[in-house]
């Protein structure tokens, strides 16, 4: 009698990060898989990174490493702007950046504007440790076009944080000068913005072009970097456009319960490796 080897469930999610590079996670289950009016959305459970959220095939957050991204996106500006009373988050419907913002006492108004309501619903259902800050009474959540919202509030915000998806389809315009001009108009005097600008290894052209686009609008443009393990190559960049203030110098103490961001990390994140300086024409 022939004996067959034991069969094992071996199911993997694979993200195609570049034409020549994939990231694969072994999963134990799919918790949600839907088509929203704007994109495909999936929440799955993995052995290595816990639960993770995928939009249009790209990992957005995982339970294990989301804090590295959200802390950098929030605290680089919240700690360096002298008086960030009005804060806008463009995208970021999962609420991770808002969770970090509400650790600060200074903000009086925090707006989260993400066009896709299903992202926020999925985060509330499956990522309570990420979405918990959405309960703060200072937070207003709007599911609408952020560009239209900004145009209605000229000279209104102190800080704008652009938590966009990858530069494809409707998100491509968020990396170009016309969008940055709208952000500039929505910021008050002394205002600052920050946007995620991908990996210098996987997206050289995008980082270089975005630096040029933002520099054509803002008098001060600064690039920081940090670790983000599940994003392409694990090295991620954050680009700051400032009307006046220098974001490299924190003015405020580190908020409670940070796991990645610190005052020393703040300073060191703006120390760019020589190859990134060369890429941006700064060397």
Q: For residue 43, give Cα distances in angstroms to 40, 69, 228, 236.
A: 10, 19, 19, 23
Q: Report d(CA 17, CA 58) in Å as an integer.
A: 8
Which residue in the list 163, 169, 182, 246 is annotated as catalytic? 163
Q: Report d(CA 138, CA 90) in Å as an integer.
A: 16
- Residue 219 CB neighbour total at 10 angstroms: 10
Q: Under DSSP, is residue 22 helix (H, G, I), strand (E, B) or coil?
A: strand
Q: Say if CB 162 and CB 183 are below 8 A apart.
A: yes
Q: Say if CB 283 and CB 275 are below 8 A apart.
A: no
Residue 209 designated active-site? no
Enumerate the active-site residues.
Answer: 163
């Amino acid at each position: 009698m022939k004996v067959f080897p034991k069969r094992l469930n071996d199911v993997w999610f694979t993200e195609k990060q570049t034409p020549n590079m994939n990231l694969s996670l072994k999963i134990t289950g799919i918790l949600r898989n839907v088509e929203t009016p704007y994109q495909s959305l999936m929440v799955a459970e993995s052995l290595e990174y816990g639960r993770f959220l995928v939009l249009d095939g790209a990992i957005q957050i995982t339970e294990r490493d989301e804090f590295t991204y959200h802390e950098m996106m929030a605290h680089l500006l919240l700690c360096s702007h002298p008086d960030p009373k009005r804060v806008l988050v463009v995208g970021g419907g999962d609420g991770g950046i808002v969770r970090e913002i509400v650790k600060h006492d200074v903000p009086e108004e925090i707006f989260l504007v993400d066009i896709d309501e299903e992202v926020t619903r999925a985060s509330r259902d499956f990522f309570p440790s990420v979405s918990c800050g959405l309960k703060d009474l200072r937070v207003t959540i709007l599911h609408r076009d952020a560009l239209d919202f900004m145009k209605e509030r000229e000279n209104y915000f102190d800080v704008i944080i652009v938590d966009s998806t990858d530069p494809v389809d409707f998100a491509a315009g968020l990396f170009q000068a016309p969008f940055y001009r709208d952000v500039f108009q929505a910021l008050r005097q002394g205002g600052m913005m920050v946007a995620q600008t991908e990996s210098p290894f996987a997206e050289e052209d995008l980082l270089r072009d975005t630096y040029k686009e933002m520099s054509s609008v803002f008098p001060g443009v600064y690039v920081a970097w940090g670790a983000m393990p599940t994003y392409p190559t694990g090295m991620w960049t954050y680009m700051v456009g400032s009307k006046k203030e220098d974001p490299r110098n924190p003015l405020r103490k580190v908020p409670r319960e940070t796991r990645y961001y610190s005052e020393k990390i703040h300073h060191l994140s703006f120390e760019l490796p020589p190859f990134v300086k060369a890429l941006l024409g700064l060397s």
